[in-house]
Amino acid sequence: MVEEDGIRSVKKISRAGSGGYSLYLPKRWINNWSEAQQKEKEIEMFEVGDQLIISPKQSRKVLTKNIEGASQEELIYHMLSAYIRGADNFTIIQEGLSDINIGEIRNILRFLDENLMVRAERNSISFENRPVAAYDPGLFIPLLFDKLIEAENLAADLVNDCDTNPIRCIHLMRMLYAIEKEDVNRLSLQIFRNLSRCRSPAKDFVDINFKWSSANMLEIIGDALYGVVQIVCRSYGINPNDLQYPAEYLEKKIVDRSPVLGDAEKLRMQLVIDLREGAIMLSKAKEAIVSGDGKGAFDYKDELREQVRAMEAELADSMGEFSTSSDVTEESFLSVVQISIRVREIMYLTKSLTKRAALIYFSD
């Protein structure tokens, strides 16, 4: 156990009867427990490989933050930060909280996690974790992979049809909006929370770190895919936040839309192919990462690297042809560049995931 903050020490264990062992815990550590915890004198244990984490039973992390003059975005980040750090109870106190402040934060928290009870008073808003039965969060990362694989294929359809079938593309963008806002963001934050609370099964602390970074990179891939949606929305004259509204309302806004990719048909096809290949790459990355197959990831990372290099070369050729076309407009050229950047980002993040998986699990 730790005798001083941040310092490791060595302790002897003793036999306790015929089948167990006992260990003396530091008095200073137990003195920091709540009164109820000291009365019960019970602990929770969480195994990480050959290491054992010990904490007071039903320890609840209670935090209160007094702030002044915070913006709405800062208030939201306070709440989300406390959430992923594993707080059971968190309260923000700020004079003059508006109904808009409270309403938006309440909606975000309720949607984020059904196990949170949200309370609001005149100058404060808080969440409290409900006491619920334990569940296995081990499927969260595979589910996050699946959502993004689906999103990459939807994004390929969107790029392919954005200048020819706007009605269908409204439907595709609303689906991508739902995946980003309702699935990817929520799942990634729940993964962070479960890791910080030691609620996810793990082989060792390196495995925990990799799961955290994997969820983070997958969330960034989701941002890149949603970036494609934002580009199309701009050409259609639609606010991306309006994608939550019915399709009939959005269809009325695209009467005077400008082209997204215009006459860049060769480049359009290349982007569609790259997004489809990106979905296949992510499927292979998922297989290697979820199974902890370091050798498979090691073999695949080279294949993926060559695919990314080929994609870059093909995109460069297509961009060159498009940029010299007499029909190219400033708007379509900007859309092409921005979508190409998003696709390249998706490829590189997928490659980075497999490379890191190979490094971590190769000798497992």
List, as one string, the DSSP characters of 98-127: -HHHHHHHHHHHHHH-TTEEEEEETTEEEE
At residue 230, the pLDDT reads 95
Question: Counting every residue, how long is the chain?
Answer: 364
State pLDDT tens for residues 265-315.
Answer: 888 888 999 999 999 999 999 998 888 889 989 988 888 888 888 888 887
The amino acid present at 256, given as its one-letter code, is: D
Pairing assessment for the beta strands 43-48 and 51-56 based on DSSP bridges = antiparallel
Does the structure show a pLDDT above 80 at 322?
A: no
* The predicted structure's pLDDT at residue 337: 84
- Per-residue pLDDT averaged across 27-48, rounded? 82
CB 190 within 8 A of CB 114: no
Q: Cα 166 from chain centroid?
A: 29
pLDDT tens readout for residues 199-250: 777 788 888 899 999 999 999 999 999 999 999 999 898 999 999 999 999 9
Q: Is pLDDT at 3 greater than 60 in this prediction?
A: no
Mean of pLDDT over the chain: 86
Task: Specify the fold of 62-129.
Answer: Translation Initiation Factor IF3 (3.30.110)
Where residue 100 falls (left for φ over 0; alpha for ψ -120 to 50; beta otherwise) is alpha
- Residue with the bigger pLDDT between 86 and 174: it is 174
Q: How confident is the model at residue 32 (pLDDT cuts 50, 70, 90)?
A: confident
Percent of the chain residues topping a pLDDT of 70: 93
Question: What confidence category does residue 177 fall into, taking pLDDT thresholds of 50, 70 and 90?
Answer: very high
What's the token pair of residue 271? 């982007």
Domain 137-361 has CATH 1.20.58.220: yes
- Nearest CA to 88 out of 107, 64, 112 is that of 64
Tell me if residue 131 falls in helix, strand or coil.
coil
pLDDT in tens, 102-125: 888 988 998 888 889 999 888 899
Residue 134 pLDDT greater than 60, yes or no: no
Q: Is the pLDDT of residue 316 over 70?
A: yes
Which pLDDT belongs to residue 355? 92
Residue 136 CB contacts under 8 Å (≥ 6 apart), including other chains: 201
Range list for CATH 3.30.110.140 in the chain:
62-129
Contact 250, 318 (CB under 8 A): no
CA 51 to each of CA 1, 135, 255: distance values in angstroms, whole numbers, following the listed order: 11, 22, 62
Q: Where in the chain is the domain with CATH 1.20.58.220?
A: 137-361
Indicate the pLDDT class of residue 2, thresholds 50, 70 and 90: very low
pLDDT digit string, tens, across residues 44-76 = 888 877 888 888 876 667 889 999 988 999 999
> Can you give the pTM of this predicted structure?
0.85
Residue 136 pLDDT exceeds 70:
no
Burial status of residue 220 (CB atoms within 10 A of its CB: 0-12, 13-18, 19 or more): middle
Q: Which whole-number Å values give the CA distances from 82 to 91, 247, 253, 355, in the listed order? A: 9, 36, 39, 31
Secondary structure percentages of the chain, helix, strand, coil, to 5: 65, 10, 25
Structural contact between residues 260 and 332, judged by C-beta atoms closer than 8 angstroms: yes
Please tell me what DSSP assigns to residue 259: P
Radius of gyration of the chain (CA): 25
What's the confidence (pLDDT) of residue 21? 85
pLDDT of 327: 65
pLDDT of residue 1: 41
Q: What is the mean pLDDT of residues 24-44?
A: 82
Average the pLDDT over 174-197 and give the result.
92
Both tokens of 311, joined, read: 């994609």
Q: Which of 172-186, 274-288, 318-332 has the weakest average pLDDT?
A: 318-332
Q: Which residue has the higher pLDDT, 29 or 273?
A: 273
* SS3 category, 30: helix
pLDDT in tens, 344-353: 899 999 999 9
Where is pLDDT greater, at 297 or 32?
A: 297
